[in-house]
Amino acid sequence: MTSNRISRRTFTGAALWGAAAPAAPMVLPAHRASASPAPPPHLPPLDPIALKAAIDDLEHPPSTAAQLRVSGVAGRWRGTSGVADIRTQRPVRAHDMVRIGSITKVFVATVVLQLVAEGRVDLAAPVRRLLPGLLPGRFSAVTVAHLLNHTSGMPDHVGIPEPETAEEVLRHRFDHWTPQEWVATATHGALKFTPGTRQEYRGINYVLAALIVDKVTGRPYGEAVTARILRPLGLERTVVPGDDPHIHGRHVHGYLRMADGNLRDITAYDQSSSRGEGDMISTTVDVERMLATLFSGALLPPELLQLMFTLPPDEVRMLDGSPARYSTGLQQATVNGVALWGKTGETYGYKNAAFSTRDLRRGFVLAYHPTTSRNGGESQLVARVADLLTRSPNAEGAALRT
């Protein structure tokens, strides 16, 4: 069976670009605490002209539309650019739905931590015990905590072709996988490293986390996300699509440029290989509300929320030797000396970034629609926006790499 596997990149910069109280005592895994409290960094005043110019530049990268929402007590700004549908030329609007890719992980991690707070999940529990028969015995050291902060060491997928051209993406966009079939492709061979000793960003970790939510709650993870987050927060335009390959309601179309130069609509396609790690649909408005509510402490008790702002210990490094940059459900990026927490997400035709300072003084949600894939330049717009929102006047901008 073939897959419409997505190429997902990390977002790195100069340094790197209300649940109830626990029902039982919890033993939390050791982590490297985020930096000690320090005077908040200076944040530049917003420059509306520069921000509008940043999202109006739809050539770098080639894109059909962009939406940006800047939030926080340090200033707010809203802007859109481009069209939601190249056929009708309808302008994109703030409440248009988009595929949010790996921002899905923030929702899943929040639900898992809520279950931890209720005493229904133990972060130190072996995944094999929660999902019997799914992982081989040699994976017995992998725990729930390892999944959530990408320190599991899960092997690479085997037997799933990765599309190399836009034409191949179109050809395989309706391929379907059950979660069990998808997990099976990542269980060949040994673990890459002893769980907890290294960090590698892997979507399979959250496919497994969503299956744990299924098992513990007795219903599909999307229903748990809806009941625990979407409905209480009034996120009426956020959807966990399940097996439905379509976006229903007013939305922005995604496109890919074919070898002949024509754009083909890639909006509808099967997300089954991204279940729990990249399949959700939302709006910039809803994502902004989710991030602000989460950071405010309304969704998790303090000791569990702190895990989302806690990186692994110093000795735990990414596979390339750089410092770990993923916490439980979030990632950290430091730009122009400003520490931002949040998540990026992408699927074909859709690119997103949702970040904020821990104190919510400045945040942003960006959604845009590149028409190329896997050429290394898709993050240019994220870099421009992050630099504008953190760079002091007259300072040189941060050099970003993806």
Q: CA-to-CA distance for 358 and 309, rounded, in angstroms?
A: 8
C-beta of residue 237 within 8 angstroms of C-beta of residue 284: no
Q: CA-to-CA distance for 363 and 87, rounded, in angstroms?
A: 33
Which pLDDT does position 30 carry in this prediction? 44
Reported confidence tier of residue 373, pLDDT bands at 50, 70, 90? confident
Reported confidence tier of residue 399, pLDDT bands at 50, 70, 90? very low
Which pLDDT does position 376 carry in this prediction? 67
> DSSP assignment, residue 370?
E
Q: Angle at the Cα of 180 (from 351 to 349), degrees rounded to 5?
A: 15
- pLDDT > 70 fraction of the chain, expressed in percent and rounded: 87
Residue 9's CB is within 10 A of a number of other CB atoms, namely 16
Residue 273's CB is within 10 A of a number of other CB atoms, namely 25
Render pLDDT for 28-65 as a digit per residue (tens, 0 to 9).
Answer: 444 455 444 556 668 999 999 999 999 999 999 999 99
- pLDDT > 90 fraction of the chain, expressed in percent and rounded: 84
Render pLDDT for 383-394 as a digit per residue (tens, 0 to 9).
Answer: 999 999 999 875
Name the 3-class secondary structure at 140.
coil
Helix then strand count (H, E) for the chain reads 12, 13
Measuring CA to CA, which residue among 45, 289, 326, 367 is closest to residue 199? Answer: 326
Return the higher-pLDDT residue of 35 and 276: 276
Name the 3-class secondary structure at 214.
helix
Render pLDDT for 232-266 as a digit per residue (tens, 0 to 9).
Answer: 999 999 999 999 999 999 999 999 999 999 999 99
- Confirm whether pTM is higher than 0.85: yes
- Which CATH number is associated with domain 48-390? 3.40.710.10
Render pLDDT for 206-238 as a digit per residue (tens, 0 to 9).
Answer: 999 999 999 999 999 999 999 999 999 999 999
Which pLDDT does position 394 carry in this prediction? 59
C-beta of residue 329 within 8 angstroms of C-beta of residue 311: no
Q: CA-to-CA distance for 62 and 261, rounded, in angstroms?
A: 12
Does residue 179 surpass a pLDDT of 70?
Answer: yes
Which pLDDT does position 392 carry in this prediction? 82
Six-digit token string for 192: 């890459």
Q: Is the peptide bond before 61 cis (omega within 30 degrees of 0)?
A: yes
Q: CA-to-CA distance for 33 and 22, rounded, in angstroms?
A: 21
Q: Which amino acid is at 67?
A: Q
| Chain-centre distance for alpha carbon 159 | 25
Reported confidence tier of residue 267, pLDDT bands at 50, 70, 90? very high
Please identify which residue in the block is written with the tokens 């930096």.
Answer: 35
Residue 7's CB is within 10 A of a number of other CB atoms, namely 13
Task: Collect all residues with Cβ–Cβ distance below 8 Å to 260 and sequence separation of at least 6.
Answer: none
